[in-house]
Amino acid sequence: MLILYNTLGKQRESFEPVNESVVNIFTCGPSVYQRPHIGNHRTFLFEDILVRYLEYCGYHVRRGMNITDIEDKAIEEAARSGLSVTKLTDENIEHFTDEMNLLKMKKPTHLARASNAVDSAVRIIEKLFERGNAYRYEGNIYFDPLSYPGFGKLYGLDTTDWPEKRRRFHKDTYPGMRWNKGDFIIWHGCEDGGDEGVCWDTLIGTGRPSWNIQDPSIISSYVTESLSLYCGGVDNLIRHHDYTLAILESIRPYPMARYWLHCAHLTVNGKKMSKSTGNVYYVSDLVERGYTPEEIRFFLIYGWYRRQVNYTDNAMASTATRLRDLREKVARLRAVPGADESGTTATKVSYNLREVFERHMNDDLDVKGAVDALDRVIADALDQKLENDAAAVITALRDIDSVLQVLF
């Protein structure tokens, strides 16, 4: 039984999908005002492991992901760079998709740009008007969080000290990890038609959807039931995911998602990764240092997703060596006569491989525990005569590597 830590409720729970025939997942995608760094990819790879392991367990998975290609930051960065928003975001989307392929991530079933879901955002806002959750103010449209009973339940926000005087927050995002106790923007109004690629003429006026309504607009366009899983980085627990939840549950008579999973940050030498401190690492930086895509993937998945990972040069080198040693052992297994023949009959060693892998993965996706246990079983197997077991062992490892994507 797969056990996952559900942020909604703050406890470990047995996984039971909303729909047995298809597991619908939504995962927060990149904000493409800049190219993704390895910290972003840590979250995307945790989500990739989740999808692949569910498929390994026999589930049919349908995964949605947004690409935030229209927001305050993209507009500001395009102005600084002297590019159009479309040119800027197209270049960063190309970086993202190239690196998804390089790191062997499965492409989401629904990979949608926010700019292509404007009509859906408009329909949601019209419903929010009807239900009294949203209102206009000075050309923008805001959502009143207190109009949604239980606002902040995902984070566990105390709303008893909510300011009596109405406050409005008009930016897409705010720095830091504080809560903005007030109404948040869901639609930016534009004057005089706005700039091409930034503003749209719609039934609710000329403008653009805010960041916090973009996930609901994409989700509502492809799934009409509760999601089984909603995933993202832990930083989204401040404001963003509770905003998203309140919007979608205000217009739908059922929960947005049954399970919420959040991935912890990646730091660099113990510090938050940021351009201002000059410690941002990209996949290409690690490739230039001689690391393979498999080694980079392994570093980013080799750990518990809920525990912070600290990048250092020594940690990267050590983890890469760890993978090389493991791959060398797998290569020795493949060199056993008959290893690459069809091996469908389970043997003791192949059973042990599957058992230890599944035991650790079922424990809230403990990839590190799973890999370490596999290594011990493989090492023991190399001390034995495997002529009759080798094919089954390699078959088991290939099945396991359909999740890990680093062994072969």
Domains and CATH numbers, the chain: 3-8+15-263 (3.40.50.620), 268-404 (no CATH)
For residue 9, what are its two tokens? 């409720």
| Contact between residue 63 and residue 109 where contact means Cβ atoms under 8 Å apart | yes
Q: Which residue type sits at 255?
A: P
Each residue of 61-71: pLDDT tens digit?
A: 999 999 999 99
pTM reported for the whole predicted model: 0.95
Q: 117: how many CB neighbours lie within 10 A of its CB?
A: 24
> What would the mean pLDDT of 144-154 be, rounded to a whole number?
97
Between vectors from CA 185 to CA 224 and to CA 260, what angle results, nearest 5°? 45
For residue 43, what are its two tokens? 């979250």
Give alpha helix (H) positions in 107-224: 118-131, 214-219
Each residue of 41-99: pLDDT tens digit?
A: 999 999 999 999 999 999 999 999 999 999 999 999 999 999 999 999 999 999 999 99
Each residue of 166-176: pLDDT tens digit?
A: 999 999 999 88
- Cα separation, 229 vs 218, whole angstroms: 15
Pick the closest to residue 300 from 39, 108, 35 (CA basis): 39
Pick the closest to residue 238 from 258, 265, 219, 256 (CA basis): 265
Pick the closest to residue 357 from 397, 385, 311, 406 (CA basis): 397
